[in-house]
Amino acid sequence: MGRRTILVIEDDPAIRRVIMDALRFDGYEPLAAGTFVDGEHAAQTATCDLVLLDLVLPGGDGLDLLAATRQTRPTLPVIIMTARGGEDDRVRGLSLGADDYVVKPFSVKELLARVAAVLRRSAERPNYHTEVAFPGGVADLARGQLRFDDGGLDTLSEKEAEVLRYLAQRPGRVVSRAELLERVWRLPANRVQTRTIDMLMARLREKLRDDAAVARIIETVRGKGYVWR
């Protein structure tokens, strides 16, 4: 396998240089962008295996960049690295599909370990063509796409696809929020509030055209979790 390419979107030249030097030393091929516009263009067009994304960028918010990237490249791994360590930013970043969230200041050693872990999880994901049927359409998890019987299309973020796959592989069983956090996000359940799951599930239901009040696909079991029907 060739050298993995990592896109570093960071506005601070000194921090960007340190990260890129560390990536090179660890055997990666780094690419760089220092503004929102350049970062958005690179994230959507560059050939890369993972994105390291700062949230405070000249010209825009990194979370908006993440949301835009998820629309066009739903399976591209993204690690947020930022001084904005507040709960709301963490929740929104994870809900938008970030694979990990690193708060500055962090050690280069920690960052490299997280990069390796996310790339390893990405490589371990099934690479075969995976489809899950649901009332009204089919979810193509390999492409991160929903195809509806009426011809409509929608996209799935990487986390949405992972959650959908995890639930669909366990039909009829209640899957708790804590289980989803530990098995899909690979985080201890006490690291992230459960509303992270609730927000993602609401967005996933909307994309599946599933009415929470009369759920045909994903049912909420109050106080327990979710069931794939």
Q: What is the pLDDT of residues 123-157, one digit of tens each?
A: 655 444 478 889 999 998 877 889 999 999 999 98
CA distance 218 to 204: 9
- 29-67: pLDDT as tens digits: 999 999 999 999 999 888 888 999 999 999 999 999 998
pLDDT of residue 128: 43
Of 70, 95, 124, which marks where a domain is finished? 124
pLDDT above 60 (res 2): no
Q: How far apart are CA 220 and CA 222, in angstroms?
A: 6
> In sequence order, which residues have a C-beta less than 8 Å from that of residue 88 and are 6 or more positions away?
none
Alpha-carbon distance of 166 to 212, in angstroms, equals 19
Same domain? For 91 and 187 the reply is no
Same domain, 17 and 68: yes
Higher pLDDT, 215 or 18: 18
Domain that holds residue 154: 131-228
**117/167 same-domain check:** no
Nearest to 185 by CA among 121, 106, 116, 141: 121
pLDDT at 111: 95
pLDDT: which is higher, 158 or 188: 158
Are 119 and 201 found together in one domain?
Answer: no
CB 16 within 8 A of CB 32: yes
Cis peptide upstream of residue 126 (ω within 30 degrees of 0): no
Query: CA 66 to CA 49: how far, in whole Å?
Result: 15
Query: pLDDT tier at 191 (50, 70, 90 boundaries)?
Result: low
- One domain, residues 80 and 185: no
Q: Domain of 194: which CATH number?
A: 1.10.10.10
CA distance 189 to 192: 6
What is the model's pLDDT at position 1? 45
For 98-128, write each residue's pLDDT tens digit: 889 898 888 999 999 999 999 987 765 544 4
Total domain count, the chain: 2
Same domain for 141 and 60, yes or no, is: no
Q: What pTM was estimated for this model as a whole?
A: 0.57
Considering 89, 124, 159, which residue would you say is the last residue of a domain? 124
Do the bridges between strand 50-53 and strand 78-82 make them parallel or antiparallel, or are there none, so unpaired? parallel
Say how many C-beta atoms besides its own lie within 10 A of residue 169's C-beta.
11
Residue 33: give its domain's CATH number: 3.40.50.2300
pLDDT band at 193 (very low <50, low <70, confident <90, very high): low
Q: Are residues 11 and 107 in the same domain?
A: yes
Strands, E, within 54-125: which ranges?
56-57, 60-61, 78-82, 100-103
Q: Is the peptide bond before 105 cis (omega within 30 degrees of 0)?
A: yes
